Structure 1
Amino acid sequence: MGYDVDCDKMKDECGVFGIWALGQSEEAANFTYLGLHALQHRGQESAGIVSTDGETLYVHRAMGLVADIFDAGVLAKLKGGAAVGHVRYSTTGGSHVKNAQPLAVQYAGGPIAVAHNGNLVNAEALRSELEAAGSIFTASTDTEVVVHLLARAHPAAAPGTVEHLVGSVRQALGRVSGAYSMLFLTPKAIVGARDPMGFRPLVLGRLKGNWVLASETTALDLIEAEYVREVEPGELVVLDASGLRSERLFPDRPPAPRLGRCVFEHIYFARPDSVLFGRSVYEVRQAFGTQLAKEHPVEADVVIPVPDSGVPAAIGFAETAGIPFAMGLVRSHYIGRTFIEPQQSIRHFGVKLKLNAVRGLLKGKRVVVVDDSVVRGTTSRKIVKMIRAAGATEVHLRISSPPTAWPCYYGIDTPTRQELIASTHSTAEIATYVTADSLGYLSLDGLYAAIGAERTGFCDACFSGQYLLEFPRRQNHAPLRLVGG
C-alpha cells in the first residue's frame, strides 16, 4: 500500500522550458533536460521534451522524474536546435502518461507541441462544446482543449508560417479563461504566452545569443543563461530565425484591470534561489519570518524550521526574536512520493521517513517550529508530536502564511474546501488539534508588507476566498466571492 508523505502540502503545479537555437546548436534537448531538472520541484509525476530540427518534431514523454526518464540514448534521439519541455503534477486530468506533456499533434497548420503551466477554468464547458461538434479527445487534461481550439482556428496567414501559428494561438487562447503560461513549438518557431492576469510565472533568458523561456530563473541559472526579464502578463513572445519579438496577446482588448500573480509561489512553490515577480524568493521568505516574529512573539529557547521550505522564514523569525536558530528536524532527501508499508499499523511512520528530530537540540527546550503552511493539519500534528517525543517541553507552531481556507482553481491541486482545516476551525481549535502550545499565522496584511507590494498585484484566493476569475460552479463548493476583472 502506498502512502503520500506530502499529504499536508499544496501539490506543486507544473514547469515549462523552451529554447530556440535552431541553426546555432544541436543540443536543445540537452539544455531542456537541464532546465527541467532545475524545475523538478514544480512537478514530479511526469516529464517530456519535444525538439525540432526545422523539419520534424521529435517527442519523448514518460511518467517519473526527469533524471529517470531521459538518458543519453533518449536525448540523442531528440534532434535539433529548438525544444520545449514540461514537468507535471496533475491539476486537471489524472495521473497517466496520456496526460504527460508537451502534447504533440499534427494539424492543418503543421506539427505543433504545447506545454502548459496553469489551469483553464472554462475547460469543461469548452470540451463539451468541442465534443458536441465532433472533436475526439484522447487525454483528460485541459491543455488538449487548447490543441483542439488551435486546430479550429482560421487565421489569415498561410498554414505552416509563423504568422499562422501566432494567429492560431491568439484565436485559441481568446476562447479560454484561467491561468496559463504556455509554450508552443513548431519547426518554424516557439511562441510563449502568459495570461492577462499573470497567474503563473514565465521568464525570458538569453544563452549565447539564443533565447530561452522558463517557469523560473533557476532553470536559466543551471544552463548559465542570462536572465533578461519576466514575460509580462498578457504578452506573447515569438522566438524564430529572426530572433525575438514581443506583442500583446490580445491587442484588441484592454489590459486586465488588475494582476493575479500567485502569492503562493513566494510562500512555497518557487525554489528559494529563484527571482520571482522581481523579488528574491529567499529574501521574501525570510521577510515573512521577520514579520511573523513581530506579529506572534513567544518566549522560547530555539527556533527550528520544517525543511526545506520553512528554512528562510525560520531564519528571519529567529533573527528578529533574538532566539537561536537550529536545524532541529533533518530531512531525508531520498524518500519518494510513496513507499511500501510492511503493515498497515505503521502508516504513521510516513512523516518519520521524511523527517527526524534531533533529540540533543530539542530535549528540555521550548521550541518554535516554523512551517510555510497548514493544509489539512495532519502532518503538522505528527511533527509537533515528534518534537515532543524528542524531549521538547513546549512546542509553538508558527506559519509563514495566512490560514489556507479556500481551494485554488488556477493551477494548484488543492484539497476540497471541506478538507482544509482552516475553513471550519479557528486558530485555537487548530492549535488544539495539532497539539501545539500555541499557533500563529502570518496575517494577510503582514504577508504583503513582507513582499513589499500591493495586494492588487496578486491572487490570494486560497487565503481570502476572493477569486479573480469566475468559473462554473461545481458541487460541494461553497458560494464564492468574486472580485476584480
Structure 2
Amino acid sequence: MPPAHPLDDDKLREECGVFGVVGVTDAANFVALGLHALQHRGQEAGGIVTHDAETGFNQARRMGLVRDNFTSADTMQILPGTIGIGHVRYSTAGSKGQTAIRDVQPFFGEFSMGGAAIAHNGNITNAMSLRRELIERGSIFQSSSDSECIIHLMARSMGRTIPDRMEEALRKVEGAFSIVAMTRTKLIGCRDPLGVRPLVLGKIGDGWALASETCALDIIGAEFVREIKPGEMVVITAEKGVESHFPFRPNRARFCIFEHVYFSRPDSILGGRSVYETRENIGRELAKEAPVDADLVCPVPDSGTPAAIGYSLQSGIPYAMGIIRNQYMGRTFIEPTESIRNMGVRLKLNVNRALIKGKRVILVDDSVVRGTTSRKIKEMILDAGAAEVHFRIASPPTAWPCFYGVDTPQREKLLAATMSEEEMQTHLGVDSLKFISLDGLYRAVGEAKGRDKNAPAYCDACFSGEYPVAPSDMIEQGFQAKTAAE
C-alpha cells in the first residue's frame, strides 16, 4: 500500500473501528455500510466475517478502503448470513505502516463448541508478555497483532461456552479494548473496565447492531439504544435480545478524552453529548483563555472546523474558510520524490488568497504533534500575504504517547515533550501560539469545575502523562512513565 499522505503523518490516528449485526437479512451489507461510516478510524485494511446456516462461517479480508473492497456483488455473495461482524484497521501494534493481510481482522478460531470471530479496537498493553507465555505453552501465532492473544487465551480456557471463554480471556488482558465478536448465533460486545474506547448498541427492525460510533448506526437506519457500559459484556441473539453481564471488577470509567477532540466523527454522540457541539465548546473555551486581536478565524480543515466556529462565535471575529481542502486527494498519486514530498501539504490544502491577503489570521487546529505540518501551513498563509498568523490549538500540548489504541510517535518526537509553549511558537515561526488548558478542555466536555486532579473523569494520558493502566510492555522495554513528582 502506498505511504499515507504527508499531511496525515502529523496527526494522531485511531487504530480501528468495529461493527456487528445480528437478526438481519444479508448481514454483510449492513456491516459494509457500518464500516464505511467508520472509515475515519482506519483506512489501511478491512474485514468481514458472517455465518450462514448452509455455508457456515464466511470471511473476506482486504487491503484498502471499504468502498474499494466491499461493494461488488461478487464479494458480497461470498458473505451470506444473518449475523456478521467487521473491522477497519490502522496499525499501531505489530508491523506499523506495513499491515499484512494476516494482521487484518476479524480473527477466527474454531473451538470444541464451535467457531467464533473477534474484532478488537484498542491496544493490549501486556500483549508482549502474554504472547511470550502463550508461545512457551505451545500456541502458534498467525499474525503480529496483539488482538490474536485473545483467541489463544480463549482456546486455553475451560469455559463451557464461548462467552464464558471470552470473559476468562479478557480478565488476563490489560489495556483498552472494545470488542465485537460472534458465534453461529450470538453477537457479543465488550468494553474494558475503564471504558477507554467507545462501543454503542443499536436496534434495527427485529435485529441488533454494535458499533464504535453512533454515526455507523445512522447509516443503516438503526435506532441508538445506549452505550455499552465500561466493563460490560452483552450477548445478543435474534431470539432473546440483549443479555448483559459484568465480568470485571468495578472501576471508575476513564473514557478517552481525545475522542471528543479529534477521533470521533462530528455527527456522532458520545456520553450523551454531540461531538460537534463539544468541539464548538472547545473553541469557545479557547477564545476565553487565549484571545487575540485579528481579522479572521480560519480552521485547518477538516478537524479544526467546529472549534474554529466556536472560537469565532465567542470572540466575535469573523469565521472564514481561509484554507480549502482538496476532498479527492486521499494519498499521494505521484511517485513521492523529494520535490513532491515538499509539496505534500499543498496537494491537499490550498490557501484562499483573496481572503487571506493583508489579514491577521487565527488558525484553529485540533492538535500539534510533530509540528511539521503546522510549519508548512503557516508558510502557505504567509506566502498568500497574511499580515499575521496566530495558532490556537483545540487540545492541550500532546507530550506523552498513547498506548491504548492510538498511533503516537515516540515521546522524543512529540514537539510538546521537548519544548515549552514559547519555544514551540518560535520553532513554528508564528506570531502567537496558545493551547487550550486541560481544565478548559474538561469544561468543554461538561466538567464544569475542570479536571479533578485526584479523580480525573477521562483518560488524558497523552496530555498529562498519567496512565490509568500501566503500559507494562513499554515499561519493560525502558519507557519512563511519569513519576508522582512530575
Please state which band the TM-score falls in when normalised by the shorter chain: over 0.9
2:364 corresponds in structure 1 to: 370
Is contact 2:206–2:238 with CA below 8 Å preserved after alignment? no
Matched residue, 1:97:
101
| Number of the residue aligned with 2:123 | 119
One-letter code of the match for 2:29?
N
Q: Does 1:35 align with 2:34?
A: yes
SS in 2 for 1:197: coil
Cα displacement string for residues 46-67 of structure 1 (whole angstroms, at most 9, x for unaligned residues):
0011011246111000110001
Structure 1: unaligned runs, 5 residues or longer: 158-163
Q: Which residue of 2 aligns with 1:204?
A: 201
Partner amino acid, structure 2, of 1:213: L
Instruction: Say whether 1:131 aligns with 2:132.
Output: no
Q: Label 1:143 to 1:2 Cα distance change in 2 as closer, same or farther (>3 A).
A: closer
Report the secondary structure of 1:436's partner residue. Answer: coil
Q: Does 1:148 align with 2:145?
A: no
CA RMSD of aligned residues (A): 1.5
Partner of residue 294, structure 1? 288
Question: For the Cα contact (< 8 Å) 1:17–1:213, is it kept in 2?
Answer: yes
Alignment of 1:331-342 (within 5 A): 331-341=325-335
Q: Distance in 1 between matches of 2:182 and 2:244?
A: 17
In the alignment, the residues of structure 1 paired with residue 245 and residue 25 of structure 2 have an alpha-carbon distance, to the nearest angstrom, of 31
Q: Distance in 1 between matches of 2:476 and 2:401?
A: 12
1:461 aligns with 2:461: yes
Q: Which runs of 5+ in 2 are unaligned?
A: none
**Aligned partners of 1:286 and 1:316 also within 8 Å:** yes
CA-CA distance at 1:2 after TM superposition: 4.6
Which of 440, 446, 452 is the equivalent residue of 1:452?
Answer: 446
Asked if structure 1 preserves the Cα contact closer than 8 Å seen for 2:465 and 2:481, the reply is: no
Q: Give the aligned partner of residue 183 of structure 1.
A: 180
2:217 is paired with a residue whose SS is helix
How far did residue 248 of structure 1 move? Answer: 3.0
Q: Which amino acid letter does the alignment assign opposite residue 81 of structure 2?
A: G
Alignment partners' CA distance in 1, 2:483 and 2:222: 42
Higher deviation after alignment, 468-477 or 371-380: 468-477
Q: Is the counterpart of residue 393 in structure 1 residue 387 in structure 2?
A: yes
| Secondary structure at 1:466 match in 2 | coil
Tell me the equivalent position of 2:471: 471
Is 1:86 the counterpart of 2:81 in the alignment? no
Pairwise mapping of residues 7-406 of structure 1 onto structure 2 (< 5 A)? 7-21=9-23, 25-54=24-53, 56-70=56-70, 71-94=72-95, 95-155=99-159, 157=160, 164-250=161-247, 253-256=248-251, 258-341=252-335, 343-406=337-400
Letter of the structure 2 residue corresponding to residue 191 of structure 1: I
- Are the structure 2 counterparts of residues 417 and 231 from structure 1 closer, same or farther at C-alpha, using a change threshold of 3 Å? same
Pairwise CA distance, 1:478: 2.6
- The offset of 1:342, in angstroms, is 6.2
- The CA distance in 1 between the partners of 2:403 and 2:253, in whole Å, is 16
For 1:62, the aligned partner's letter is R
Whole-Å separation in 1 of the counterparts to 2:436 and 2:225: 33
Superposition deviation, residue 471 in structure 1: 2.5
CA contact (8 A) 1:272 1:281 kept: yes
Q: Which amino acid aligns with 2:399?
A: A
Give the match's secondary structure for 1:467.
Answer: coil
Residue 240 (structure 1) shift: 1.2
* Corresponding residue of 2:430: 436
Instruction: Give the superposition deviation at 1:174.
Output: 1.1
After TM superposition, the score normalised by the length of structure 2 is: 0.94
Q: Displacement of 1:477 after TM fit? A: 2.6
Structure 1 stretches of 4+ with a deviation exceeding 6 A read none
- Alpha-carbon distance in 1 for matches of 2:484, 2:111: 38
Q: Which amino acid aligns with 1:72?
A: A
For 1:26 and 1:210, locate their aligned partners in 2 and report how far apart those are by CA, in whole Å. Answer: 9
TM-score normalised by length of structure 1: 0.94
Contact 1:387 1:395 in 2 (8 A): yes
Bigger mean CA offset, 233-242 vs 462-471: 233-242
Corresponding residue pairs, total: 470
Which amino acid is the alignment partner of residue 84 of structure 1? I
Question: Any conservation in 2 of the 1:303–1:367 contact (CA below 8 Å)?
Answer: yes
Which secondary structure does the structure 1 equivalent of 2:13 belong to? Answer: coil
Matched-pair contact (CA < 8 Å) for 1:467–1:482: no
- Tell me the CA shift for residue 27 of structure 1: 1.5
Residue 161 of structure 1 corresponds to none
More off after superposition, 142-151 vs 2-11: 2-11
Question: Using the alignment, how far apart are the partners of 2:373 and 2:316 within structure 1?
Answer: 28
Q: Secondary structure at the match of 1:61?
A: strand
